[in-house]
Structure 1
Amino acid sequence: MKFIQSDHWQPKGIDELEPNAWQALSRRESTSVIAGPGAGKTEFLAQKAAYLLETGLCPPNQKILAISFKTDAAKNLADRVKERCPEELSNRFVSMTFDAFTKNLVDRFRMALPERHRPSKRYEISFPTFRQEKSLISSFRNNFGNAVGIYNIRQRLQNMNQFIGSVRIGDSGLLWLEEEFLDFWLSQQINYADGISRVSFLALNRLAECIVRTNDHVHRSIRASYPIVFVDEFQDTTFAQYDFLSSVFKSSEVEVTVVGDYKQRIMAWAGAKGDAFHQFEADFSAQRHSLLLNHRSSPELVRIQHVIARAIDHEVREVQTSNNNLISGDAAWICCSYNVNQEAAHLAHWIANDMQGRSLNPRNYSILVRQKPEDYEQQLSHYLAQHGLSLRNESVKIGQATLQDLLAEELTILFSTLLKLGLGHRNAQAWNQLSADVRLLRNTTKEDEKALRQVERQLALFISELKDLMRQSFRPDNSRLVFERIIAFIDLNDLRKTFSRYATGDLLEINLAALEEFFTNCVDTQNSWTGLLDEFEGTNHIPLMTIHKSKGLEFDTTIFMGIDDNAWWSYRPGDSEGLSTFFVALSRAKQRAIFSYCQQRGQRTKIADFYALLSAAGVQEYVIPPSVVV
């Protein structure tokens, strides 16, 4: 392939990059990029990938590794690179989550670990609760009685993720008690009577770091394979993830580009570092660049966002927007209700009217809450149904996955596309993408024209057979057959060979079980293939999710419920993470943000900061009359 000269390269799929983005894109050393909401972090990384691949600056025998925090973010970035680069180049862009990367290393090189730290070949992923962590700490204390230093280690264990992420397996510099606790913590996950380990992602991170640090062959192999590394949403990097990143890539020739926004740091509870950008810039000799355009929100929303941003960082620079106000009236307001039924009735009525008046669809709206979406689901679903609308809790657990993560999996996307084409939907874009995906699955190159024609014939034949099957009556036994035929056509072995994250371990089995459960749920609640597909894709559903799950997403209108002391029980005035969470919720909106306060849910004394900031930004408060209830 003929490469483009770097000074002749132009952005793909967009008109232009802002000057700071050009500087960060062309820099050939480690770089940190501060990019606020709507600045186009994902687009910037996709453009930088295209630049490095199309100019040959990433050598043909090597790859770019992109690390994200969420499965859907990793998939979105990979898709954008596919859209901007020829297939032979985009195949050299590997996008996965931190958890998938470290799990893959443990699955491949498990035998390189010391025997006492080695999980069973087949192991389960565990998700320890705060209560379980406290119980484990108590057990450790009981085992060691009143050992010297037990009090100090208990203080450090107040944040388990921070403590574990700061210590390394087999590190000679550890204090005796630290080493004892680390061994105790690992043994509780590795040693089970039935021989099957139950390992958390935090433990997998520590095990992967140990493998890389103590096995020079693995270490050199990773750095040789990936001379260029991207890390998205860097403000949420945990102590363990940063330590792993440093262990693998620090003091090497690898170029690391991190992108994020410290104003959106909302994962401190999960062990996120508070100084990740500054430490990275010092450790990797990285240069900082800031993107100063907002491509998402209207000018009025950007103005309100800046008021909140200034409360988080007094020195924050004001950003400009490339968008226009597309609505008349307020871009943001607070609506106050007395009880949950009145709140839900009012919001459902308003959404239905606005959707009809502006010719929007349900997925142009989102309902965001701080935690426990199920607490808001029942009333809201009831009143939305009276207007012919549906709500979907996208944070709900399906098997060992959340619905939102499951829908972003390669397996699920392939399944959904085949289902859509089997139903007879004529969609050239879906067909072209599916053809490319199947060619990739079957390991077919563009040069092998005979193999390409064979893959196309097989795909066309399968879609024809699927259509015939789906023309039959919609029954549970028939739908089961459709599911099995589609999975067989995809071929799980081909999936493992194609996607490294599925190559080892049981991630593919976990996702397949969740997909089957979700598909069955859709079958049980529908009476036609069209209804099933709509239910599966959430086409006519308004998404309900936590603020944390909304990161990276955008909606025309965001409705933020539960702004009260009970939902924000841990908030303290001036708490920067709480303000950042509030900022993230506001910044998901493109045209309008609505803040809903319900007196029945709780008071608003603790979080008076939020309302004061909204007032300072000129956001008006409206009280819903008591008579407004259905």
Structure 2
Amino acid sequence: MSIPGQQGPTGRPVPRATTVVPAGEWRPIGISDLEPAAWEALRDTGNVAVVAGPGAGKTEFLAQRAAYLLQTGICPWPQRILAISFKKDAAANLDRRVASRVPEHAGRFASMTFDAFTKSLVDRFAAALPADWQMGDGYEIRTATKPEVGQFLNDLAFSAPAALSGQLGFQPGRFLPDVVGGWHLPERLPTGDEVDAVTYAVREWWHARYLRAGTAEVDFVMLNRLAELLVRAVPRLRRALRMTYPVVFVDEFQDTTSAQFSFLTSVFGEKTAVTAVGDSKQRIMGWAGALPEALHRFTDAFGATSYALTWNFRSSDALVELQHVIASKLEPTTVRATSMATAEVGHEPAVLWTFSRSDREATFIADWIARDIAASGRMPSDFALIARQTIKEFEPLFRARLAAHGIRVRNDDARLGKMTLQDLLKSETARLLLGLLRLANEPQGLVKVWRDVSATMERVHGATDDDRARHRVGKNLADLTTQLRTWLRDHPAATTSAADTVKQVVGLLDSAALRRYLKSAVLGEDFDIALEAFEARLQAASDGTAEWGDVLDEFEGANAVVLLTAHRSKGLEYHTVFFLGIHARQWWAYANDRREGTSTFFVGLSRAAHRLIFTTDRTDRTGPISDLFTMLTEAGVPEIDHG
């Protein structure tokens, strides 16, 4: 039975590494040492829960644990480690980290998102689903909107059996993650009206979306439930998964949903060593169904040993102290982290700036950033502008004020069709197309870009382990960039549409091979959606820009001040963070869930390595929003009024 990720990226068997390091002689790779708790967790070969706060180096810990288990033979060849993350960039980052630490074992480390893993199981083994759950004409991924769910529930209440009257008052925002996600699909679909309210509602949902004529519509919650049913209904598949992956890592465990926890328990609850890494203080996905106390539930269900990492490699000691004040509001017993970062002198590590007008705020901060860059030699990408949620209200002013200093702004939350800019820039499709355009526009001095594009093309054409095939791909790439260079020369950026440019680049590629590669190896990436987003971004970058090099720089925004929400900032770090909009307009939902609101506050402020500047206005600070100001006061954060 072929398991997702069982073979290397070329589809060939993973080669065996011959050297085994005795466990007692193993040392960390690429770093000098680990903190004592990390050593204990790393050597524990059972189920492990690791509490890792901001800056704790959880990606590095997981990479070192993978290296330890693979190099010592505790995870023996040909078995593999499965690493599950919640974001594609986190999965890719961990994959790269392990490959750099133990390249000889990289083929035995499978890093992917939860959604990609469950989708791959359904795609490969859908034919083994029980008869009642067979698809008639395939499926498409489509997430129902909140109004659509609300309409379904309203219709359901009117058509339900009399025995269920008054029992179907489900909340539209919670129905999918909690009710659909918490229901185990039975092998035989319940029939008739002799069912409870939950069973009736979920059954009708599946009938309306999945068990219907034509193409089924599913979201990732439903794919998760189908995957769990598959593994439960096909014992041979579950045995194969456990044999293939005796070790499983789950990152950001505090964001685990009911469906994901159920799947993990069903598939890997026995005969697998599971490492869960997370921090309940950073639980900011409750709105999407994240379980309360997920790490505690894991510890209980899996009999795991818990370890807490207390070193902070990101933030200076003063910022760690501020983080501890906020963390203590979420978990009174939390242990203060120890800063391992070198502190800078000559500036206030944390401060609250007050402004009377938004234009005054943007002008002051833009001037301040420009002066700091000129004095320090820092790059614009060292600075982040973070807000609670409505980023778009900040973008026009900050873009204009920073542009006056020749500084770009990149709004990572900007929507481009069905993708955000942050997701587009990390997509395989965008990196390939952008790389080809850069190589065509600038034929010299882009060695890294050439390597990256060439490596992607080799994977697309299955040439990674064949020297002759690799040579052929290299020659084809050279010919392609030459043709594209001529086209760019004849089509100036100022007068050429993004649609024509994208059409030209894609036309030079074997798009069928590219689609097959993305579908099989880059799970979760839709080529058409990425292409639409790429074209939209290229068009925006081309407006008013004369040179192709400037267009590509604007597209990528690599050297720009980043503007993003606190949610999207998770996992990132910057030298200086401006946490904008500490007022009721940005934090209007704080009263609905103060704990999650405080966690969002904690996530945003903990992105800063050396300087953290909060901004506010002169509006009312009473009511629930007063909590945030009280915490800043308790942490000793001074306030300066800038008029």
8 A contact 2:576–2:609 mirrored in 1: yes
Task: Write the mapping of 1:11-22 to structure 2, written as runs, cut at 5 A.
Answer: 11-22=28-39
Letter in 2 for 1:405: D
Matched, 1:38 2:55: yes
Which of 152, 173, 176 does residue 196 from structure 2 map onto?
Answer: 176
CA drift of 1:282 comes to 1.7
Which secondary structure does the structure 2 equivalent of 1:527 belong to?
A: coil
Cα deviations across residues 454-512 of structure 1 (Å, max 9, x unaligned)?
A: 44444444445444544445246597676456546664555566566557888333323
Which of 162, 174, 179 does residue 159 from structure 1 map onto?
Answer: 174
Q: Structure 1 224/148 Cα, relative in aligned 2: closer, same or farther at 3 Å?
A: same
CA drift of 1:191 comes to 6.1
Task: Write the mapping of 1:314-329 to structure 2, written as runs, cut at 5 A.
Answer: 314-329=332-347
Matched, 1:567 2:586: yes
Task: Provide the C-alpha distance between the structure 2 equivalents of 1:147 and 1:70, rounded to a whole number of angstroms.
Answer: 43
Task: Provide the C-alpha distance between the structure 2 equivalents of 1:548 and 1:205, rounded to a whole number of angstroms.
Answer: 23
2:18 aligns to what? 2
2:567 aligns to what? 548
8 A contact 2:209–2:218 mirrored in 1: yes
Task: Write the mapping of 1:298-309 to structure 2, written as runs, cut at 5 A.
Answer: 298-309=316-327
Task: Provide the C-alpha distance between the structure 2 equivalents of 1:319 and 1:560, rounded to a whole number of angstroms.
Answer: 22
Task: Provide the C-alpha distance between the structure 2 equivalents of 1:418 and 1:269, rounded to a whole number of angstroms.
Answer: 39
Task: Write the mapping of 1:337-416 to structure 2, written as runs, cut at 5 A.
Answer: 337-416=355-434
Matched, 1:71 2:85: no
1:628 aligns to what? none
Which of 426, 434, 443 does residue 424 from structure 1 map onto?
Answer: 443
Task: Write the mapping of 1:136-285 to structure 2, written as runs, cut at 5 A.
Answer: 136-144=152-160, 147-148=163-164, 150-151=166-167, 153-154=168-169, 159-160=174-175, 161-170=177-186, 176-190=196-210, 195-251=214-270, 253-285=271-303
Letter in 2 for 1:605: G
Cα deviations across residues 278-300 of structure 1 (Å, max 9, x unaligned)?
A: 11112222111111111111111
CA drift of 1:327 comes to 4.3
Letter in 2 for 1:271: G
Letter in 1 for 2:169: R
Task: Provide the C-alpha distance between the structure 2 equivalents of 1:168 and 1:464, rounded to a whole number of angstroms.
Answer: 55
8 A contact 1:565–1:605 mirrored in 2: no
1:527 aligns to what? 546
8 A contact 1:305–1:587 mirrored in 2: yes
Q: Structure 1: where are the runs of 5+ without partners?
A: 626-630
8 A contact 2:258–2:289 mirrored in 1: yes
8 A contact 2:408–2:557 mirrored in 1: no
CA drift of 1:530 comes to 0.9
CA drift of 1:603 comes to 4.7
CA drift of 1:225 comes to 2.7
Greater Cα offset, 303-312 or 221-230: 221-230
Which secondary structure does the structure 1 equivalent of 2:78 belong to?
A: coil
Q: Structure 1 515/467 Cα, relative in aligned 2: closer, same or farther at 3 Å?
A: same
1:595 aligns to what? 614
Task: Provide the C-alpha distance between the structure 2 equivalents of 1:311 and 1:223, rounded to a whole number of angstroms.
Answer: 40
2:14 aligns to what? none
Which secondary structure does the structure 1 equivalent of 2:144 belong to?
A: coil
Task: Provide the C-alpha distance between the structure 1 equivalents of 2:636 and 2:467, rounded to a whole number of angstroms.
Answer: 63
Q: Structure 1 505/349 Cα, relative in aligned 2: closer, same or farther at 3 Å?
A: closer
Letter in 2 for 1:75: A
Matched, 1:443 2:462: yes
TM-score normalised by length of structure 2: 0.88
2:4 aligns to what? none
2:312 aligns to what? 294
Which secondary structure does the structure 1 equivalent of 2:112 belong to?
A: strand
Matched, 1:512 2:531: yes
CA drift of 1:537 comes to 1.1
Task: Provide the C-alpha distance between the structure 2 equivalents of 1:200 and 1:222, rounded to a whole number of angstroms.
Answer: 23
Give identity over the alignment, percent: 38
CA drift of 1:243 comes to 1.0
Q: Structure 1 116/56 Cα, relative in aligned 2: closer, same or farther at 3 Å?
A: same
8 A contact 2:157–2:165 mirrored in 1: no
8 A contact 2:518–2:527 mirrored in 1: no
8 A contact 1:235–1:273 mirrored in 2: yes
8 A contact 2:344–2:610 mirrored in 1: yes
Which secondary structure does the structure 2 equivalent of 1:43 belong to?
A: helix
Task: Provide the C-alpha distance between the structure 2 equivalents of 1:141 and 1:307, rounded to a whole number of angstroms.
Answer: 47
1:84 aligns to what? 101
Q: Structure 1 266/465 Cα, relative in aligned 2: closer, same or farther at 3 Å?
A: same
Task: Provide the C-alpha distance between the structure 2 equivalents of 1:338 and 1:215, rounded to a whole number of angstroms.
Answer: 64
TM-score normalised by length of structure 1: 0.90
Greater Cα offset, 382-391 or 17-26: 382-391
Which of 566, 572, 576 does residue 557 from structure 1 map onto?
Answer: 576
CA drift of 1:262 comes to 1.0
8 A contact 1:9–1:55 mirrored in 2: yes
Greater Cα offset, 403-412 or 493-502: 493-502
Letter in 1 for 2:343: N
Q: Structure 1 506/23 Cα, relative in aligned 2: closer, same or farther at 3 Å?
A: closer
Task: Provide the C-alpha distance between the structure 2 equivalents of 1:442 and 1:285, rounded to a whole number of angstroms.
Answer: 45
Task: Write the mapping of 1:587-626 to structure 2, written as runs, cut at 5 A.
Answer: 587-599=606-618, 603-625=621-643
Greater Cα offset, 275-284 or 99-108: 99-108
Q: Structure 1 140/52 Cα, relative in aligned 2: closer, same or farther at 3 Å?
A: same
Q: Structure 1 156/522 Cα, relative in aligned 2: closer, same or farther at 3 Å?
A: closer
Which of 100, 103, 109 does residue 125 from structure 2 map onto?
Answer: 109
CA drift of 1:128 comes to 3.1
Cα deviations across residues 151-209 of structure 1 (Å, max 9, x unaligned)?
A: 3x52677732223222211279996221111112223323678x343322222222222
Cα deviations across residues 359-390 of structure 1 (Å, max 9, x unaligned)?
A: 22221111111112112222222322333323
8 A contact 2:519–2:525 mirrored in 1: no
Cα deviations across residues 41-73 of structure 1 (Å, max 9, x unaligned)?
A: 111112222333334433333332211111211
CA drift of 1:617 comes to 1.0
Which secondary structure does the structure 2 equivalent of 1:290 belong to?
A: strand
8 A contact 2:141–2:219 mirrored in 1: yes
CA drift of 1:424 comes to 3.0
8 A contact 2:128–2:230 mirrored in 1: yes
Task: Provide the C-alpha distance between the structure 1 equivalents of 2:239 and 2:181, rounded to a whole number of angstroms.
Answer: 23
8 A contact 1:563–1:604 mirrored in 2: no
Matched, 1:62 2:82: no
Greater Cα offset, 453-462 or 257-266: 453-462
Q: Structure 1 428/558 Cα, relative in aligned 2: closer, same or farther at 3 Å?
A: same
CA drift of 1:590 comes to 0.8
Q: Structure 1 492/41 Cα, relative in aligned 2: closer, same or farther at 3 Å?
A: farther
Cα deviations across residues 558-608 of structure 1 (Å, max 9, x unaligned)?
A: 1111222232222239822111111101100111111111246x6553211
Letter in 1 for 2:106: S
CA drift of 1:619 comes to 0.3
Q: How many residues get paired?
A: 619
1:126 aligns to what? 142
Which secondary structure does the structure 1 equivalent of 2:534 belong to?
A: helix
Q: Name the Cα RMSD after superposition.
A: 2.9
Task: Provide the C-alpha distance between the structure 2 equivalents of 1:417 and 1:378, rounded to a whole number of angstroms.
Answer: 29
Greater Cα offset, 208-217 or 505-514: 505-514
8 A contact 2:185–2:226 mirrored in 1: yes
Task: Provide the C-alpha distance between the structure 2 equivalents of 1:542 and 1:442, rounded to a whole number of angstroms.
Answer: 37
Task: Provide the C-alpha distance between the structure 2 equivalents of 1:54 and 1:199, rounded to a whole number of angstroms.
Answer: 40
Which secondary structure does the structure 2 equivalent of 1:154 belong to?
A: coil
